[in-house]
């Protein structure tokens, strides 16, 4: 593994990917390195990545000379029989185990990022965020699905977070055995998991997370104005996030790599995808019509 060229403590970023999503992860890493001057240590939870994909991911970040990658293996048997779908594979559950996978005592917190994201700004403010007494920081899910009520979870606040971006306090998480509790819930109540790992995380961590500004996880519902926030403050923050998002999340079905996209930041995905070491032929309007 390459050694960082400066001696600053790196920002720890974790993502989980399989072979299909490796090019999108490379795109995310390009955007992150382009918008930040800090050194990074990327931890990639490896769900069957080929040697070729690993080489291409390494080549993608090498030109920036300020990041290293560690590939982490996971015991897939822990996640057997989990609820899956075409859009959300078993890989999504691996984020639950992150604090038990990263055991370096110098790594006290991490930022988890889904592969279908783009970084549009410096994340140093996010890295230094005060989580107060909570175990994680996250952004409220923009779908307003009322999942806690539906799952029958007693709560003080009905707020439900999107697990695509999480800032985790690793020590607190391990002390309270959160990974074990979340996995146990997922095993015990599979029929409750409409949104899979995200439901299980919220079932255990409701009322124990710090809400972040939606600019840190600017979800598609928000960007396309498909949902209206029920509070005035939330409405104003959505407007701020649409104007100047710090992290774009291409969640849902509106993926810029799947065809002509309505997403206002789709062109940024193509820009950064073209900078990766992975082969890339952007879909044209003619391709879309013929398809």
- Residue 256's closest CA among 236, 233, 218, 283? 283
Q: 């175990």: which residue's tokens?
A: 135
| pLDDT tens string 196-240 | 899 999 999 999 999 999 999 999 999 999 888 889 998 999 999
User: In terms of CATH, what superfamily is 11-290?
Assistant: Spore Coat Polysaccharide Biosynthesis Protein SpsA; Chain A (3.90.550.10)
Tell me the sheet residues that pair with 15: 44
Residues present in the chain in total: 291
pLDDT, tens digit only, all 291 positions of the chain: 444 444 468 999 999 999 999 999 999 999 999 999 999 999 999 989 999 999 999 999 998 989 999 999 988 777 776 666 555 666 778 889 999 999 899 999 999 999 999 999 999 999 999 998 999 999 999 988 888 888 888 877 888 999 999 999 999 999 999 999 999 998 889 888 888 899 999 999 999 999 999 999 999 999 999 888 889 998 999 999 999 999 999 998 889 998 888 999 999 999 999 999 999 877 654 444 344
**What's the pLDDT at 194?**
87
Sequence ranges of the domains in the chain: 11-290
**What's the pLDDT at 128?**
95
**What's the pLDDT at 3?**
41
Cα-based torsion angle of the residue sequence 151, 152, 158, 161 in order, rounded to the nearest 10 degrees: -30
Q: Are 47 and 16 in contact (CB under 8 A)?
A: yes
DSSP the chain: -PPPSS-SPPEEEEEEEETTTHHHHHHHHHHHHHH--S-EEEEEEEES--HHHHHHHHHHHHTTSSEEEEEE---GGGGTT----SSS-GGGGGGGGHHHH---TT--EEEEE-SSEEE-S--HHHHT---TT-SEEEEE-TT---HHHHHT---S----EEEEEEEEEHHHHHHTTHHHHHHHHHHH-GGG-TTHHHHHHHHHHTTSEEEPPGGGGEEHHHHTT-S--SSHHHHHHHHHHHHS-SEEE--TT--GGGSS---TTHHHHHHHHTTSSS---PPPHHHHHH-
| pLDDT tens string 167-206 | 999 999 999 999 999 999 988 898 888 888 999 999 999 9
């Amino acid at each position: 593994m390459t050694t960082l060229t400066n001696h600053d403590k790196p920002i720890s970023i974790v993502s989980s990917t399989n072979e299909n999503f490796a090019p999108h992860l490379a795109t995310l890493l390009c955007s992150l390195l382009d918008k930040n001057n800090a050194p990074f240590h990327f931890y990639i939870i490896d769900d069957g990545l080929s040697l070729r994909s690993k080489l291409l991911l390494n080549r993608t970040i090498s030109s920036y000379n300020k990041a290293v990658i560690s590939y982490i293996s996971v015991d897939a048997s822990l996640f057997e029989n989990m609820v899956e779908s075409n859009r959300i594979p078993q890989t999504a559950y691996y984020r639950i185990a992150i604090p038990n996978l990263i055991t370096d005592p110098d790594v006290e917190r991490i930022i988890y990022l889904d592969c279908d994201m783009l970084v549009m700004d410096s994340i140093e403010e996010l890295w230094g965020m005060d989580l107060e007494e909570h175990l994680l920081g996250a952004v409220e899910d923009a779908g307003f699905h009322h999942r806690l009520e539906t799952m029958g979870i007693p709560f003080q606040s009905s707020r439900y977070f999107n697990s695509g971006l999480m800032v985790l306090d690793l020590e607190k998480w391990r002390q309270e055995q959160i990974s074990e509790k979340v996995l146990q819930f997922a095993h015990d109540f599979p029929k409750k998991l409409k949104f899979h790992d995200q439901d299980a995380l919220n079932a255990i961590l409701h009322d124990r997370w710090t809400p972040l500004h939606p600019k840190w996880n600017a979800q598609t519902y928000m960007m396309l104005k498909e949902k209206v926030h029920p509070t005035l403050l939330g409405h104003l923050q959505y407007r701020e996030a649409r104007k100047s998002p710090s992290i774009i999340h291409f969640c849902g079905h509106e993926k810029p790599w799947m065809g002509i996209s309505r997403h206002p930041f789709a062109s940024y995905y193509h820009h950064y995808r073209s900078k990766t070491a992975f082969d890339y032929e952007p879909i044209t309007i003619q391709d879309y019509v013929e398809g």
